[in-house]
Amino acid sequence: MPGRMDGVVAVVAGAVEGQGRATALLFAAEGARVIAGDISGKQEDTAAKSDGDITPVQCDVSQPGDVEAMVAAAVSRHRRLDVMCNVAGIAVGGGMLADEDPDDWDRVQDVNLKGVFLGIKYGAPAIANSGGGAILNWGSIGGMIASGMAPGYSASKAAVISLTRNAAIQYGPLGVRINCICPGFVLTPMIGKGRPADPPEVREKMLTTMRAKSLFNREATAEEIAEVALWLCSPPASFITGVALPVDGGWSIRSV
């Protein structure tokens, strides 16, 4: 039985953990030839988990040369590029803005926003030259609503939404659809990374609070997000561009 992405060449940036890993594995399982980029050096682990066609590459999405080389690897290996998924993201810092470390702020913007910019900069022309396709950027519900908890992260994701809309206008006439997926609470390794581990009771209280944001009182799984990503990058979504799609279990429609 043909896969839903048979013949598609896709780059997934940030492919080692969480939503990026789930997206790379799902795309490959559905027949795509995937270039899996990551800064960690563990991208070979993602490739090893798949029976599909995944080529691991080293990539720091904040570095233009790395992103350009990642896209070039897809074109060199497969002679085309159809889909670009800009998944890589980090969440560091937070708290009161007056206490925010400027270095943390810069790093978040470099990965979350500049990384998406570079993915579009190098990915969109390659996709257009291949006859058209799709770019999917990872925003967040934090870019759509304000909580005051992580202003640097939220600002980066709000900017990704705006960048997506502007890029969609520029590249739509060239056959490149550009959308943004905005997950709600997804329990991935990024949660709590970069700071000391919370005591179990504190972590459980945080999880209970975050799960309650959803109308279903649970987190999303990385695999659920990957399924939405696949749809947005596939022909059934061919008339959708410039959209910031919440995948948040209803979090964003609450009035409180």
pLDDT at position 197 over 80? no
- How far is it, in rounded angstroms, from Cα 163 to Cα 137? 9
The overall average pLDDT reported for the chain is 93
Q: Name residue, tokens 């609450």.
A: 254
- How far is it, in rounded angstroms, from Cα 189 to Cα 168? 31
C-beta separation of 82 from 128 below 8 A: no
Pairing of strands 133-138, 176-183: parallel
Selecting among 27, 153, 171, 185, the annotated active-site residue is 153
Claim: this prediction has a pTM higher than 0.85: yes
Tokens read off for 155: 């600002």
C-beta separation of 161 from 180 below 8 A: yes
Tokens read off for 198: 């919370």
Residue-level pLDDT at 1: 60
Question: Binning pLDDT at 50, 70 and 90, where does residue 193 land?
Answer: low
Question: Binning pLDDT at 50, 70 and 90, where does residue 93 land?
Answer: confident
Which string of DSSP letters, residue by residue, matches 195-249?
SPPPPHHHHHHHHHHHHTTSTTSSPBPHHHHHHHHHHHTSGGGTT--S-EEEEST
Question: Binning pLDDT at 50, 70 and 90, where does residue 195 land?
Answer: low
Question: Binning pLDDT at 50, 70 and 90, where does residue 56 land?
Answer: very high
Q: For the chain, what percent of residues have pLDDT higher than 70?
A: 95
**Residue 207 vs residues 153, 212, 214, 221: alpha-carbon distances, Å:** 19, 8, 12, 14
Which string of DSSP letters, residue by residue, matches the chain?
---TTTT-EEEEES-SSHHHHHHHHHHHHTT-EEEEEESSS-HHHHHHT-SSEEEEEE--TTSHHHHHHHHHHHHHHHS---EEEE--------S-GGG--HHHHHHHHIIIIIHHHHHHHHHHHHHHHTT-EEEEEE--GGGTS--SS-HHHHHHHHHHHHHHHHHHHHHGGGTEEEEEEEE--B--TTTTTTSPPPPHHHHHHHHHHHHTTSTTSSPBPHHHHHHHHHHHTSGGGTT--S-EEEESTTGGG---
- How far is it, in rounded angstroms, from Cα 209 to Cα 186? 13
153 carries an active-site annotation = yes
- How far is it, in rounded angstroms, from Cα 232 to Cα 253? 21
Q: Name residue, tokens 């022309």.
A: 125
pLDDT at position 229 over 80? yes
pLDDT at position 158 over 90? yes
pLDDT at position 198 over 70? no
Domains defined for the chain, CATH in brackets: 9-191+221-249 (3.40.50.720)
Q: Rg (Cα) of the chain, in Å, rounded? A: 17
Residue-level pLDDT at 190: 58
| pLDDT per residue as tens digits for the range 32-55 | 999 999 999 999 999 999 999 999
Tokens read off for 23: 């997206």
Residue-level pLDDT at 194: 52
Mean pLDDT for the stretch of residues 157-184? 98
| pLDDT per residue as tens digits for the range 106-157 | 999 999 999 999 999 999 999 999 999 999 999 999 999 988 788 999 999 9
